[in-house]
Structure 1
Amino acid sequence: MGSFTVKKVQALIKDGTPGRYSDGNGLYLMIPRKGTPYWMLRYTLAGKRRELTLDKYAQLSLAEAREQAVEGKKAIRRGVDPIEERKREEQATIHTVKDLFTDWHQDLEKRLKHPRIPKRIFEKEVAPSIGHFTLNSVTPMDVRAIVRKVAGSGRPTIANDTLMNLKQLFNHAIKLGLLTYNPASAFNVNDAGGIEKSRDRALSLDEIRQVFKIFQANSDSFSRENYLACALLVVLGVRKTELTEAQWSEFDMKNSQWALPQERSKSGVGIKIPLPPQAIVWLEELKVRACGSAYVFPNRRSSKTPHMGKDTLNRAIAKLFGREPGKKKQPQNRMGEIEIFTVHDLRRTFRSLLASLGVPGHVAERCLNHKLKGVEGVYDRHDYFEERKIALNKIAETISPLVNTQKN
């Protein structure tokens, strides 16, 4: 019998300290720095020390992990290497690019904090073109066609990410002995989105006034929901999807608070956001417009997602700048001389407003739901709720006169 009990394993996982914890007999609970805890079997065969990943803790109980460890040890005593055996089994089931991605994604779930991002890119940008191809049939021309298509739709960052993912995906096939050549290896960022410039775009107060006037003047293409979403992003400083995918159950209007849950927060940390009076007014209007939906921004079209789509706001803003991806005839530029901006630049605008209003750096960082770094982050568990409330109220007072909230 090993040294673990179910309670001890649960306590180690709750504590979350990265490390390798032994149950004895070669079985270890692995708690990585990023990703989810998993079971691992260590063994020696032919004088070589090897490590076999069994499964994630969530999928395998302590008793099941011990059972698998015993089976693995029995195989080793017969001279069978469990790692080689698994490779053979996997090779038999990996035929297409989609099969390969499914296998690779299991590794990503252990290593990455946000494994759903490469999954989303694969499903949207890669799978429709080559997901059903057998591995040996994929050519560099196929890779180029995918990357060009993404870059041509005006998404340079996604184009670069798509290329990077394809390189890693086919490297995974080489590791498994399924391919000897990577069809994506010769391409670089210049073939995809090009070198990405670090953005520092923030809107001035005068630009905010002009932009919201233009939003309102073009209400036929820029909906009232889009308008209010942008107003809330400038005043609350949250990330786009944190707002556009929000549910009414997260809001306590009576106490002017929004509890952003951990699982929806990009930083992986839940936070209570104080809501200024003006934000409450906008949210109350959105509640009426939601017509009983559980979502603050329900999707108006029949779609897989019940909430506003990820690209909706950026597309609506780009259209006002005379840019509409995928259309030959481009719309008229309604923004005049205003320098182009994206939805994320509204968050940067919020940060620069905090600085101009004299909000201390550590409070501003918590307003953005950034983890505090270094010693301050370790010792200062105080969430600065009252200080953030004062800061957000100041921003709302500054922004409200510039945002003409008269309904369209």
Structure 2
Amino acid sequence: MGSFTAKKVQSLIKDGTPGRYGDGNGLYLMIPRKGVPYWMYRYTFAGKRRELTLDKYADLSLAEAREQSVEAQKTIRSGVDPVAERKREEQVAIRTVQDLFNDWYQDLEKRLKHPNIPKRVFERDVAPSIGHLTLDSVTPMDVRAIVRKVANSGRPTIANDALMYLKQLFNHAIKLGLLTYNPASAFNLNDAGGIEKSRDRTLNLDEIRQVFRIFRDNSDSFTRDNYLACALLLILGVRKTEMTEAQWSEFDLKNKQWVLPGERSKAGVGMVIPLPPQTLAWLEELKTRACGSDYVFPSRRSSKKPHMGKDTLNRAISKLFGREPGKKPQPKNRMGDIAEFTVHDLRRTCRSLLAAVGVPGHVAERCLNHKLKGVEGIYDRYDYFDERKEALTKVAELVEPAINQ
């Protein structure tokens, strides 16, 4: 018998002083500084000190913890290391493609700034087809079926992404020794969405006037929040999620500036954005519309996210072009002969408007929070705030008449 009694253990837990408390025979009650108390078994195997976590105190009584430590002793006497055995059992737990993704996702969370992007592609386009299959039963034909289905749904870029993620996912299985062959390895971009052409769509002033008139004429489906978001994106040239996920705490309307924090910027660098006078009235209106929300564009649906969704604006624009995912009878095209554009094309349009009003290239690049290239980027730490303020105000003067009608 060890030195503990159930009462003594309870009193140690209640006291809560962090430390390692021994029961004898290698069993310890661990009370960490942070987290919950748990049982741990210490032993020596092949001359090395080892520690085996048993379970949380809340889930394991003193008697049960002693039983588990006795089982561990038997395992050690038979020449097996319990810690190594546990790791092996965890590997065996990766049986299906879904299990493999869950394991790979832990790596992605450490490495990637936005691990939710591959997760979204996996959940939407991969898991429904092969998530339930065992690893060794996935064939190249399964891979081809997935990327073809995505490409045929009119999403060539996502088809390319899905293929890239499938290659990386099965490489992860090879690293773990679970597979010797990658079923996605022989495919290339031509089998998926094709070589992607870089987009160069921008809207001219005449198109801007027409588009915002069509937005207004269809206010039943294209909301006022969407309208003002597009107006701000066109004039400020920020990226979509930098705007749609913005919080009021970032704005200083009195001093006409928006402090975009580095962790929300795709460039990873924070920036103070000057707010042209024309944008202030729109922001004041949005503040009223936000009804006390912390977000400039609060979610109008009961979704998990408190702010406007990533696809909301692009879907609303697509609908006006007569395309609505999931709906079989497609809506009427309200845009007439205007060439299709996306939300990101508004940022590109801002860049071309900056050039049209005579803004020097290096100032225009800073307006878009692009890092300056080469030597200039290394030595020029000056932020061009006043020049950017003047530049964005010129763009605002140019397009504001099309918006405020």
Matches within 5 A, 1:1-400: 88=88, 91-109=91-109, 111-400=111-400
- Tell me which moved more, 153-162 or 357-366: 153-162
Change (3 A) 1:195 1:227: same
Distance, in Å, in 2 between the alignment partners of 1:271 and 1:129 is 43
Q: Which residue of 2 aligns with 1:67?
A: none
Shift of 1:72: 12
Secondary structure, counterpart of 2:401 in structure 1: coil
Secondary structure, counterpart of 1:273 in structure 2: strand
Change (3 A) 1:86 1:147: farther
Distance, in Å, in 1 between the alignment partners of 2:87 and 2:382 is 49
Aligned partner letter, 2:242: E
Secondary structure, counterpart of 2:273 in structure 1: strand
Distance, in Å, in 2 between the alignment partners of 1:116 and 1:158 is 14
Q: Which residue of 2 aligns with 1:401?
A: 401
Distance, in Å, in 1 between the alignment partners of 2:86 and 2:374 is 42
Query: Aligned-pair RMSD on alpha carbons?
Result: 2.9
Shift of 1:303: 1.3
- Tell me which moved more, 186-195 or 241-250: 186-195
Cα deviations by residue, 1:348-392 (Å, 9 ceiling, x for unpaired) = 000011111111111111111111222222222111111111111
Distance, in Å, in 2 between the alignment partners of 1:362 and 1:323 is 38
Aligned partner letter, 2:338: I
Distance, in Å, in 2 between the alignment partners of 1:300 and 1:160 is 32
Aligned partner letter, 1:375: V
Secondary structure, counterpart of 1:288 in structure 2: helix
Distance, in Å, in 2 between the alignment partners of 1:312 and 1:185 is 35
Q: Which residue of 1 aligns with 2:33?
A: none
Shift of 1:114: 4.1
Distance, in Å, in 1 between the alignment partners of 2:150 and 2:249 is 36
Q: Could you tell me whether the CA contact under 8 Å between 1:87 and 1:176 is conserved in 2?
A: no
Aligned partner letter, 1:340: E
Aligned partner letter, 2:397: E
How many residues align structurally?
Answer: 333
Change (3 A) 1:365 1:317: same
Cα deviations by residue, 1:69-117 (Å, 9 ceiling, x for unpaired) = xx99959xxxxxxxx9998465234223233223333444555454443
Cα deviations by residue, 1:24-72 (Å, 9 ceiling, x for unpaired) = xxxxxxxxxxxxxxxxxxxxxxxxxxxxxxxxxxxxxxxxxxxxxxx99
Shift of 1:397: 0.6
Distance, in Å, in 2 between the alignment partners of 1:148 and 1:249 is 44
Distance, in Å, in 1 between the alignment partners of 2:179 and 2:102 is 16
Distance, in Å, in 2 between the alignment partners of 1:239 and 1:73 is 57
Q: Identity of counterpart residues, as a percentage?
A: 80
Change (3 A) 1:178 1:257: same
Change (3 A) 1:176 1:208: same
Q: Could you tell me whether the CA contact under 8 Å between 1:230 and 1:346 is conserved in 2?
A: yes
Larger radius of gyration: 2
Secondary structure, counterpart of 1:199 in structure 2: coil
Aligned partner letter, 1:281: A
Change (3 A) 1:133 1:304: farther
Change (3 A) 1:100 1:393: same
Secondary structure, counterpart of 1:354 in structure 2: helix
Q: Could you tell me whether the CA contact under 8 Å between 1:97 and 1:131 is conserved in 2?
A: yes
Shift of 1:272: 0.9
Aligned partner letter, 2:374: G
Secondary structure, counterpart of 1:259 in structure 2: strand
Distance, in Å, in 2 between the alignment partners of 1:103 and 1:319 is 38
Aligned partner letter, 2:387: E
Change (3 A) 1:149 1:304: farther
Aligned partner letter, 2:265: S
Q: Could you tell me whether the CA contact under 8 Å between 1:257 and 1:275 is conserved in 2?
A: yes
Q: Could you tell me whether the CA contact under 8 Å between 1:259 and 1:270 is conserved in 2?
A: yes
Normalised by the length of structure 2, the TM-score is: 0.75
Change (3 A) 1:247 1:218: same
Change (3 A) 1:355 1:94: same
Q: Could you tell me whether the CA contact under 8 Å between 1:250 and 1:259 is conserved in 2?
A: yes
Aligned partner letter, 1:296: V
Aligned partner letter, 2:195: I
Aligned partner letter, 1:245: E
Secondary structure, counterpart of 2:402 in structure 1: coil
Shift of 1:279: 1.0
